[in-house]
Amino acid sequence: MTQSVAITGISRGIGLELAKTYLKQGFTVHGTIRKPNDEVTNLMSGFPDKLHVHQVDVTKPEEVKALGEDIQNTNEAIDVVINNAGALSGYQTKLADLDPAELSSIFDINVNGPLRITQALLPALKKSSNPKLIHVSSKVGSIADNSSGGAYAYRISKTALNMLSKNISLEYPEITSAVMHPGWVQTEMGGEKAPVTPEMSAKGINKVISGLSSKDSGLFFDYEGKQIPW
């Protein structure tokens, strides 16, 4: 049976490569973008029956709700949900530089966004016989791994996202809920100096996800499958 994946933020970077990877494997892909671009349009013409693109800003509840309803109307099961869309705010190194308003705005994208998407897609996810819910977080959200500080708003948002995933794993034991660190990746966010290409990251994430089972729920992995401490 054809498997389905929903991925947020497929306009570029890791999300775009994840979409390509799953499409090549024959998955039906529901991908979200905020506005159309050539890369996604070309991908749609290569996979007209498999790629379904939805216009969603994860900070807009009405757009997320419409996504949930569109998928519900197809009566389709979603086997994998990947909350990938995210943003990096200024790299504040000092507490005094942290503006609460900036923290709230990054929180709305990196935490409330995945929360809204998960709530909207839960009914479709529950229809799968082997549902997997993946949050693309970051190693910088690990408290145990934080030895350098800085990046206050981004770190705090990713730590909160990690807790969201852990809590979901406890409330929904039937869903494999895991957190993924994609590596330091050459994207607009990661910059040119990053050692990992988006292709390497997406292939790694895809492989790790396919190997996940219920015993991995509530855990945090990198794109090579190595477990990261909370």
Ligand X SMILES: NC(=O)c1ccc[n+]([C@@H]2O[C@H](COP(=O)([O-])OP(=O)(O)OC[C@H]3O[C@@H](n4cnc5c(N)ncnc54)[C@H](OP(=O)(O)O)[C@@H]3O)[C@@H](O)[C@H]2O)c1
Interface positions with ligand X (CB under 6 A): 8-9, 11-15, 34, 57-59, 84-87, 109, 113, 136, 138, 181-182, 184-185, 187-190, 194
In eight-state DSSP terms, residue 204 is H
Q: How far is the CB of 32 from ligand X (least distance, A)?
A: 6
Q: Are 165 and 216 in contact (CB under 8 A)?
A: no
Closest CB to ligand X among 57 and 99? 57
Closest CB to ligand X among 77 and 133? 133
Q: Is 145 exposed, middle or buried (0-12, 13-18, 19+ CB in 10 A)?
A: middle
Closest CB to ligand X among 77 and 206? 206
Q: How far is the CB of 190 from ligand X (least distance, A)?
A: 3
Q: How far is the CB of 8 from ligand X (least distance, A)?
A: 6
Which tokens hold the place of 224?
A: 């090579």
Q: How far is the CB of 93 from ligand X (least distance, A)?
A: 18
Q: Helix, strand or coil for residue 148? A: coil
70 Cβ neighbours under 8 A, 6+ residues apart: 54
Closest CB to ligand X among 50 and 181? 181
CA angle 118, 154, 225 (to 5 degrees): 65
